[in-house]
Structure 1
Amino acid sequence: MAVDSVKQQLNRVFSDEEALINKKLPKELLLRIFSFLDVVSLCRCAQVSKSWNILALDGSNWQRIDLFDFQKDVEGPIIENISRRCGGFLRQLSLRGCQSIADGSIKTLAQSCPNVEDLNLNGCKKLTDSSCNAFSKHCAKLQKLNLDSCAAVTDMSLKALSDGCPNLTHINVSWCSNITENGVEALARGCPRLKSFISKGCKQITSRAVICLARFCRHLEVINLKGCSSIRDEAVQSLAEKCPDLHYVCLSGCTFLTDASLIALAQKCPLLSTLEVAGCTQFTDAGFQALARSCRYLEKMDLDECILITDTTLIHLAMGCPRIEYLTLSHCELLTDEGIRHLSMSPCAAENLTVLELDNCPLITDASLEHLTSCHNLQRVELYDCQLITRIGIKRLRNHLPNIKVHAYFAPVTPPPSAGGNRQRYCRCCIIL
């Protein structure tokens, strides 16, 4: 009946208005054209005429909405109006950064838009477990949910989602400090289709929680445990054994991990393409040697502060990982020019390497920059606090790779001490203070 009512309204409006475009183009075609417009354009079109107002505000044109550009202005009533207008049409909604949105508006959204599949609530700091309870009751088709920085969310939210949203495949609970192993276990049991789990900064997530994820969510492809500092090797070993489809793994800041974790990933996860292990200070050449032998699809590696690795790691990566595009080696203080030489001679350097970060590598000299001239696709090099790098070396590199961005810092020259006479011990400012 609602559809018939809209058709009757459209017919009446189109018969009254004499705009040529309305006469030449069928209503269905105009509606189709409007479906390609963004939120701003739709709102502008709604002000043109009565007929365009009806077309622009038709729920079928509001299936995918991103209000990030309006984050400072969006209030609860706007979300409620959109929810009622879209109804069952809404599939994807981003409220990223809309800090004024509270549970009441989200409840209206959940009740009015039961077919929503993708919700981004990143930074909606006023939201609590009440919102997730509403999703559980009304949004059984929900597949992707981003709760990043929704600090008031607790384990109760994950338990509610596990009860009412069995189709969930992607969830982000980063910086939700109240999430613990109990919530993660409930989520894993109720959402076995989970493919992506992101929990940066959730320090209460333990090895037990990760083991539970591995046990019930065998289709995991992406896992980010950055800053989950209590994770141990047995958790990563369980993930590797039971989730062979993993291709993105972030373990940065998990300082208890050892080479046993890397060896497990090498043995069981051949599809691994991104590995971020910044701050994992116990990893050695042996672990990365195992990875290089088995994970030939690696494209991005962040080894920042893996302080025990040497040139041996670079030699093995050069031989075994031809697809590496992004490599971070900052604070790896044992690396030398010899390791960079092997890397620059590898297939990855010749074809794929685009970003190389070498901040705080004190043994790297201009010789490394000479080696990097053979990396024809290199776009950016980080050299902050590499004390043996000179301006001359950077200039030579740029002569070979004119489009490269080199980030380095050179401290100003210390002025010579003034000759003769006694200096005051304190400057005038110090004396006054």
Structure 2
Amino acid sequence: MPPDSDLIDRALKMGSLLLDAATHSSRKRASNHNSIVWPLPPDLTFKIFSMLDTQSLCYVSAACSFFSKCAKDPLCYQNLDLTTLVPKVNNAVVATMIQRAGKALRSLKLGVVPATACSPGFCQPMVSTIRKAIVEAPNFSWNDKRSRQGRESSVLTRCCLSPLSGDGGAPGALLRKLHLYNIERMDSTSLCCALSACPSLLDLEIVGIHVELRQTLMSVSANCHLIERLFFESSRTGRDDSLKAQTCSELVNNCPHLTSLSLRGFKLHDCKVRILVKGFRKLKYVDFSSSYSITGNFLRNLGNCTGGNLLEVLILRDCMHLKELEVIKFLTAILAGDFKLLMHLDISNREGLACEADWYHRCYSSSSNMPIKQVLEARPDMRLVAEYPSEGSYAETFDADMNSDISLQFSSPTSDGSIFMSTSESSYNSDHGSGNEEGQDAVIYGESSDEDNNMNL
């Protein structure tokens, strides 16, 4: 007689329940065993787990039930690094991690970074010494991500940072560091909303995000009064011309603790740059790499004011409108004794420096009028980088190491011609002028197109 089918089903269900119960009991026994044999007290275990990076913490949490309980302590999530090589972190993961951290959240890194930059320590903290300041910029940029566009899309949306405002704003209240990379769907409104929940922010880094410079700086000025480091690289190189002089002035007045300022790839005019550099009284690090419309006029008489004379690092690499005459005047000011604290200067340009009369006419190698060697002899402690193409064949690099040696090295351009401006970045050529300043802003702040010495901030 064949067995009853109902009896078979009941036996299978009972066997499944018994297996689940046995598995649960086995896990509970293993967890109790681990808690007994684990040699460290809970507080020390939490401390060790809090020193792990986010990915390692997730691996530890999956090891056993005991470790999973230990890894749920908020202190373990105070420094969240959710950056990845390819998009695989979604909003739910971000929300879960921020919720676990709660009020203990101090640092958040989020987004997609290239493989060359996704190594421990690729993003340096705020400058504390000059050596750290020189290498504080990330080892990647928006341009590194262009090859991935069209083949993959970010799984993070514009509301990925909304958990910072949750629970009455507790997660973002004590956040000190926020680094965002290549989040394609992020917009200005969402970013500004997140910044409004971070009043204690000290370090803000934004790379490859489609947000407007003016709106972002207005939000920082309104909400992040303690900020010390601001790094912002445009995702639309040379096209963002939104910055206004009033925004610069408000940022200077509302964020007096800023020591490091990097605005890369934006269309910046000299009058606005001067407001920023001259206005911040603690500014030590400045990076305006790949910024269009800067001619160098803002450097005039900057060394005798409190803001500019404290500079330790100045980077003007690949500023396409930077004029040779302004560079010569700046180097002459250094020889005269200004900028005594300056230890790193980068005035390199893959297109060469612009001539005074016509910026289309480029200086492809350092002319005899530029007192580069004199500066290196007078300031052996300063590193001066001046790389220019010579008829497209080589670049000259002048460098003074800390042992006061003067070196001249030649390097060939890369096989893909990267020493010259790429086609995708040449759209600024439609601007035939130097873009030195905007008339309306110059009138408001009493600036002239020449010396502009008597500006009142």
| Superposition TM-score tier, normalisation by shorter sequence | 0.5 to 0.7
Matches of 1:83 and 1:313, distance apart in 2: 53
SS in 2 for 1:198: strand
Equivalent position to 1:163, from 211, 222, 226: 222
> Quick check: 228-237 or 217-226, which moved more?
228-237
2:232 aligned partner: 173
Deviations 1:306-325 (A, max 9, x none): 63424984642553343466
CA contact (8 A) 2:366 2:388 kept: no
Q: In the alignment, does 2:343 pair up with 1:273?
A: yes
1:390-409 paired onto structure 2 within 5 Å: none
- CA separation in 2, counterparts of 1:277 and 1:45? 47
Deviates more, 1:275-284 or 1:219-228: 275-284
Q: Distance in 1 between matches of 2:405 and 2:221?
A: 45
The 3-state SS of whatever aligns with 2:201 is: coil
1:84 corresponds to 2:99? yes
Q: Is the 8 A contact 2:344 2:383 kept in 1?
A: no
Task: Say whether the 8 Å CA contact 1:74–1:100 is kept in structure 2.
Answer: yes
Q: Is the 8 A contact 2:188 2:210 kept in 1?
A: no
Structure 1 segments, 4+ long, off by >6 Å, are: 13-16
Confirm or deny: 8 A CA contact 1:327 1:357 kept in the other structure: no
Identity %: 18
Pairwise CA RMSD: 3.7
Give the partner amino acid of 2:308: C
Distance in 2 between residues matched to 1:227 and 1:19, nearest whole Å: 56
Residue 156 of structure 2, aligned match among 88, 93, 101: 101
Q: Deviations over 1:270-310 (max 9, x none)?
A: 111221112362699xxxxxxxxxxxxxxxxxxx9663424
SS of the aligned residue for 2:405 comes to helix
Distance 1:306 1:217, change over 3 A: farther
Report if aligned partners of 1:278, 1:306 keep a CA contact under 8 Å in 2. no
Q: Does 1:194 align with 2:282?
A: no
Out of 243, 251, 269, the position equivalent to 2:308 is 243
Q: Give the 3 Å change call, closer, same or farther, for CA 196–347 of structure 1 in structure 2.
A: closer
* Partners of 1:170 and 1:197 within 8 A in 2: yes
In structure 2, relative to structure 1, the CA distance for the partners of 1:314 and 1:210 (3 Å cut) is: closer
> Using the alignment, how far apart are the partners of 1:327 and 1:202 within structure 2?
22
- Structure 1 stretch displaced more, 252-261 or 75-84: 252-261
Structure-1 separation of matches of 2:383 and 2:278: 32
Structure 2 counterpart SS, 1:24: coil
Question: Aligned pair in 2 of structure 1 residues 318, 165: CA closer, same or farther (>3 Å)?
Answer: closer
Report if the CA contact (8 A) 2:376-2:384 is conserved: no
Whether 1:261 aligns to 2:330 is yes
Kept after mapping to 2: 8 A contact 1:14/1:22:
no
Asked if 1 retains the 8 angstrom alpha-carbon contact of 2:322 and 2:353, the reply is yes
Q: Hey, what's the Cα distance between the residues in 2 that align with 1:160 and 1:231?
A: 24
In structure 2, list runs of 5 or more residues that go unmatched. 1-27, 114-153, 357-361, 415-457
Whole-Å Cα distance in 1 between the matches of residues 378 and 287 of structure 2? 24
Q: Deviations over 1:207-226 (max 9, x none)?
A: 22112213431111111122
- 3-state DSSP of counterpart to 1:246: coil
Moved more, 21-30 or 268-277: 21-30
Query: Structure 1 residues 239 and 135, CA, compared in 2 at 3 Å: closer, same or farther?
Result: farther
Per the normalisation by structure 2, the TM-score is 0.61
Q: With CA pairs under 8 Å and 6+ residues apart, which has the higher RCO, 1 or 2? A: 2
Q: How many residues were matched structurally? A: 322
Please give the TM-score of this superposition, normalised by the length of structure 1: 0.64
CA positional deviation for 1:229: 3.0
Distance 2:301 2:161 in 1: 37
1:15 Cα shift?
A: 12
Deviation at residue 121 of structure 1 after TM alignment: 0.7
Decide which of 283, 286, 289 is 1:220's aligned counterpart. 283
Change (3 A) 1:70 1:307: closer
Residue type at the aligned position of 1:180: L
In 2: Cα distance, 1:230 partner to 1:250 partner: 15
The CA deviation at 1:17 is 0.9
1:141 aligns with 200
Distance 1:276 1:325 in 2: 8
Query: Displacement, 1:68?
Result: 2.4
Matched-pair contact (CA < 8 Å) for 1:66–1:93: yes
Counterpart of 1:348, as a letter, is S
CA distance in 2, matches of 1:233, 1:384: 26
The structure with the largest helix share of the pair is 1
Please give the alpha-carbon distance, in whole angstroms, between the structure 2 residues aligned to 1:96 and 1:264. Answer: 42
| Cα shift at 1:87 | 1.3
